[in-house]
Chains A and B, each alone.
Chain A
Amino acid sequence: MTDTALPTFIAESRELLAEMEVALLECEQGNAGPEAVNAIFRAAHTIKGSSGLFGLDGIVAFTHVVESVLDRVRAAALPMDRALAAILLECRDHIERLVGVVADGKADDGDLIAAGERLLQKLNMHTGGSSASAANTDVVATAAYAAAPGERWHISVMFHTEVLRNGMDPLSFIRYLSTLGEITHLQLNTERLPSPEDFDAEACYLGFEIELASQEGRQRIEGAFEFVREDCTLQIRSKAQAAYEATAGREAETRDARSARDIKSADNRSLRVDGDKLDKLIDLIGELVTAGAATTITARKAGLSELNESTLRLARLVEEVRDQALKLRMVQIGPTFSRFQRVVRDVAREIGKEIRLEIGGAETELDKTLIESITDPLTHLVRNAIDHGIETADVRRARGKGAEGVVRLEAYHDSGSVVIEVADDGGGLKRERILAKAIERGLITDGSSLTDSQVFALIFEPGFSTAEQVTNLSGRGVGMDVVKRNVNALRGTVELDSKEGEGTTVRIRLPLTLAIIDGFLVGVGGSSFVIPLELVEECVELGDEHRSTDGEQRYINLRGAVLPFIRLREMFAIRSTAARRESIVVIRCAGQRFGIVVDELLGELQTVIKPLSRLFSRIRGIGGSTILGTGQLALILDVPSLLDLCLSSSQAPVAPRIALAD
């Protein structure tokens, strides 16, 4: 029965563990308030509670100890210091592993149990507490079958006047008794009934004398009255035994009442929806947008003003639906950023640097798929910043900086795209060293004419690494080019700013969503292409003087600046003669400008990206396809790779084979 609910438990636990980690890291840094401790406690508490439901005794037992420690912290009986936070972090990781084992459907493994024991010992040593035993918490004690089969019991119960007002129905207990055995005799005790004028309709004046034939033990029978112990006088006698006095109301706990309000995560009103359903919805809305565009075009052709008006209204609604649907996929980047607290802490500790992670723009939203895909590149960049960017404490002091280095993750929206920055206040990039290395690696021959940003761009070249020594974190030269490739695959770009001695900032610019783009439609011969609109800077006519050169000269003078360009007709070997007039679409991408020569400028459109099948995945220059409102197919240009082609030195033979084959 519980199997079907297990995924809910696992997802819930993972969320709570993530919250727990954030709060623990805050505690470790010493800037946490009571709400952080509460959050940690609540996470442990809820995980324990739900894992018990699933009979996951290992998790219950382990979490129970952790929870007890946390409860002492909450009660201010134990200080939450760095050391405790560090141990609790390890415990958190252990719980995560335990949950992982459940998620994988594996049996408990001995090593893991042993590791858990060691952790608990460590925890106990630190807290000085005696080892709290595993939870044995069921309120209903398992019955001790003391009575002989078929034993007869005499139960005498007198309910107190308040029992009804306390929400207890005397009848329900009698009914429950009948599930434990057979009630052979029942007599109502009415001696406390008052005179009619004193009668309170909401009060209970009744008592019962019950004869029960049951095989259950005394405990089970007494248990039936568990919830009314304080509201009744109960006597249970075994007929075979001597009279047994059982008075209700045994518990008398007098502990200080202390209010502790738990701060809950803000998203507890949210609805969990299967990602596939959402994808399907987005997909359908994509089709809707396309169909809507077709209708609008048809209506315009038909020339009926009423039809035109209604299709426009429809188009506006479709647009709204699309925006709302896309928002469904949007998630805040904060949790992803927070995960790096742990990375920074662990890595900094490992290599003996003092580093703090600052986070900005945690509430910035972007497409969930993007967040998932951006985590790896970000990890690379953060590790790079820690490993190569931030200097050791000694060096920093010598340079007059604070001993503690700062890595900053920041996200913000910027004209239709999302920018994620990874900045450090470390040593910055050294132009000479990059140049020397680039020449050594044969990436360039002479760097004297390159601007700083062109030099810095070299570190994104495959096989480039200037780390003086290879550490186990990074510095194997497989870092930055992978980052760039990953980001480009998401239709994003990477830029890098650096000042020697002051630090480095890597800026990743991503589209808001992967599903739909605002595009600029251009035509070459009979084919249509879509250029992402946010990259288009302007369109200019290609002057006759550049047309005759037929591929020799590949740049124009655009208001005094050199603008290199490529011809789509050549790139994709479109077999048609050049149109009478050609235009250049000026593109700005990754801080550089270049032109794309096309026949026709067809205007803006909003379009749904259909990924290309794997067969075409290695084709450079094309990022996807889309179906136009007219039913025609258009290819979406992959601008960053076109830029590479345009700027690469091997640009001369832009034969289609080379351009298209990677």
Chain B
Amino acid sequence: MAKRILIVDDSASVRQVSNMALTRAGYEVIEATDGQDALGKLAGKINLIISDVNMPRMDGISFLKAVKAHPNYKFTPVIMLTTEAGEDKKNEGRAAGAKAWIVKPFQPQTMLDAVAKLCLA
């Protein structure tokens, strides 16, 4: 059974490209446009969450905290997407328990690599 990945990013193009890359690599992908949207999509099997930090309504850090507090998903690995300009966010994310980061801009292969480390297709 394919691993299911939830990708949370407000940029449609990031979602689209990630989705295509991951789908090709044999994952099943669910998309969400921001933290709040993503919370609504936390259901069933989710093997990995990839979340942008900088998003409207609910940013990635708050979303991460919510995931960590969720009884069913607190063990789900989360990869945060950030930029090199977002070091302060990174510290904030660390404090919230973020371990895995991918720095934007990234190549699809970079994402696939990072995903493979946490959940091989």
The docked-state distance in angstroms from the alpha carbon of A164 to that of B75 is: 6
B82 to chain A, nearest CB (A): 10
Query: A230 an interface residue at 8 Å Cβ cutoff?
Result: yes
Asked if residues A168 and B99 are in contact (CB atoms below 8 Å), the reply is yes
Asked if residues B87 and A227 are in contact (CB atoms below 8 Å), the reply is no
Residues of A within 8 A of B84 (CB): 135, 137
B98 to chain A, nearest CB (A): 9
Asked if residues A139 and B101 are in contact (CB atoms below 8 Å), the reply is yes
Smallest CB-CB separation from B55: which chain A residue?
A: A264
Asked if residues A42 and B54 are in contact (CB atoms below 8 Å), the reply is yes
The docked-state distance in angstroms from the alpha carbon of A400 to that of B117 is: 73
The docked-state distance in angstroms from the alpha carbon of A228 to that of B59 is: 24
A37 to chain B, nearest CB (A): 13
With A168-B118, A226-B117 in contact, is A53–B17 under 8 Å at CB?
Answer: yes
Smallest CB-CB separation from A136: which chain B residue?
A: B84
User: Which of A45, A50, A255 has the most chain B CB atoms inside 10 A of its CB?
Assistant: A50
Smallest CB-CB separation from B18: which chain A residue?
A: A53
Restricting to B1-41, which residues have a CB under 8 Å from any CB of A? Answer: 10-14, 16-18, 20-21, 24, 33-34
The docked-state distance in angstroms from the alpha carbon of A202 to that of B117 is: 21
Query: A268 an interface residue at 8 Å Cβ cutoff?
Result: yes
Query: A169 an interface residue at 8 Å Cβ cutoff?
Result: yes
Query: A199 an interface residue at 8 Å Cβ cutoff?
Result: no
Among A49, A55, A224, A226, the residue within 8 A (CB) of B104 is A49
Q: Mark A135-149, 1 if CB is under 8 A from B, else 0.
A: 101111000000000
Query: A167 an interface residue at 8 Å Cβ cutoff?
Result: yes
Query: A51 an interface residue at 8 Å Cβ cutoff?
Result: yes
The docked-state distance in angstroms from the alpha carbon of A170 to that of B110 is: 21
Among A1, A166, A179, the residue within 8 A (CB) of B24 is A1
Residues of B within 8 A of A96 (CB): none
The docked-state distance in angstroms from the alpha carbon of A262 to that of B99 is: 23
Residues of A within 8 A of B14 (CB): 49-50, 53
Asked if residues A67 and B85 are in contact (CB atoms below 8 Å), the reply is yes
Asked if residues A5 and B76 are in contact (CB atoms below 8 Å), the reply is no
Query: A581 an interface residue at 8 Å Cβ cutoff?
Result: no
Asked if residues B11 and A173 are in contact (CB atoms below 8 Å), the reply is no
Smallest CB-CB separation from B113: which chain A residue?
A: A140
Number of residues from A at the complex interface, CB < 8 A: 60
Query: A272 an interface residue at 8 Å Cβ cutoff?
Result: yes
Restricting to A590-623, which residues have a CB under 8 Å from any CB of B? Answer: none
Residues of B within 8 A of A450 (CB): none
B11 to chain A, nearest CB (A): 5
B45 to chain A, nearest CB (A): 14
User: Which of B13, B34, B81, B118 has the most chain A CB atoms inside 10 A of its CB?
Assistant: B13
Query: A259 an interface residue at 8 Å Cβ cutoff?
Result: yes
Residues of A within 8 A of B16 (CB): 4-5, 8
Residues of B within 8 A of A140 (CB): 110, 113-114
Q: Mark B85-98, 1 if CB is under 8 A from A, else 0.
A: 10110111001010
The docked-state distance in angstroms from the alpha carbon of A53 to that of B18 is: 9
Query: A233 an interface residue at 8 Å Cβ cutoff?
Result: no
The docked-state distance in angstroms from the alpha carbon of A230 to that of B94 is: 11
With A268-B10, A268-B56 in contact, is A255–B87 under 8 Å at CB?
Answer: yes
Q: Mark A67-107, 1 if CB is under 8 A from B, else 0.
A: 11001000000000000000000000000000000000000
The docked-state distance in angstroms from the alpha carbon of A116 to that of B92 is: 34
The docked-state distance in angstroms from the alpha carbon of A269 to that of B40 is: 14
Asked if residues B105 and A1 are in contact (CB atoms below 8 Å), the reply is no
Asked if residues B12 and A172 are in contact (CB atoms below 8 Å), the reply is no
The docked-state distance in angstroms from the alpha carbon of A53 to that of B111 is: 10
Asked if residues B13 and A268 are in contact (CB atoms below 8 Å), the reply is no
Asked if residues A139 and B110 are in contact (CB atoms below 8 Å), the reply is yes
Asked if residues B102 and A269 are in contact (CB atoms below 8 Å), the reply is no
The docked-state distance in angstroms from the alpha carbon of A195 to that of B88 is: 41
A25 to chain B, nearest CB (A): 22
With A5-B17, A67-B83 in contact, is A231–B99 under 8 Å at CB?
Answer: yes
Asked if residues B117 and A224 are in contact (CB atoms below 8 Å), the reply is yes
Residues of A within 8 A of B24 (CB): 1
The docked-state distance in angstroms from the alpha carbon of A135 to that of B103 is: 10
Asked if residues B106 and A139 are in contact (CB atoms below 8 Å), the reply is yes
The docked-state distance in angstroms from the alpha carbon of A551 to that of B18 is: 73
Residues of B within 8 A of A46 (CB): 10-11
Among B100, B106, B120, the residue within 8 A (CB) of A227 is B100
Asked if residues A48 and B12 are in contact (CB atoms below 8 Å), the reply is no
Smallest CB-CB separation from B67: which chain A residue?
A: A167
Residues of A within 8 A of B20 (CB): 1-2, 4-5
The docked-state distance in angstroms from the alpha carbon of A179 to that of B117 is: 10
Asked if residues A12 and B118 are in contact (CB atoms below 8 Å), the reply is no
Asked if residues A167 and B99 are in contact (CB atoms below 8 Å), the reply is yes
Query: B119 an interface residue at 8 Å Cβ cutoff?
Result: yes
Asked if residues B114 and A53 are in contact (CB atoms below 8 Å), the reply is no
With A68-B85, A138-B106, A139-B106 in contact, is A253–B10 under 8 Å at CB?
Answer: no
Asked if residues B119 and A172 are in contact (CB atoms below 8 Å), the reply is yes
CB pairs A–B below 8 angstroms (27 shown): A1-B17, A5-B16, A5-B17, A5-B20, A12-B13, A45-B54, A53-B107, A135-B84, A137-B103, A137-B105, A137-B106, A140-B114, A165-B74, A166-B97, A167-B97, A169-B75, A172-B119, A176-B117, A226-B114, A227-B117, A228-B99, A231-B99, A258-B88, A260-B88, A261-B59, A264-B57, A269-B33
Q: Shortest 9 CB-CB distances between A and B: which pairs?
A: A52-B105, A264-B56, A49-B104, A227-B100, A9-B13, A5-B16, A167-B77, A50-B13, A71-B85
| B interface residues with partner A (beta carbon < 8 Å) | 10-14, 16-18, 20-21, 24, 33-34, 54-57, 59, 68, 74-79, 81, 83-85, 87-88, 90-92, 95, 97, 99-108, 110, 113-114, 116-120
| A interface residues with partner B (beta carbon < 8 Å) | 1-2, 4-5, 8-9, 12, 42, 45-46, 48-55, 60, 67-68, 71, 135, 137-140, 164-169, 172-173, 175-176, 179, 202, 223-224, 226-228, 230-231, 253, 255-262, 264-265, 268-269, 272
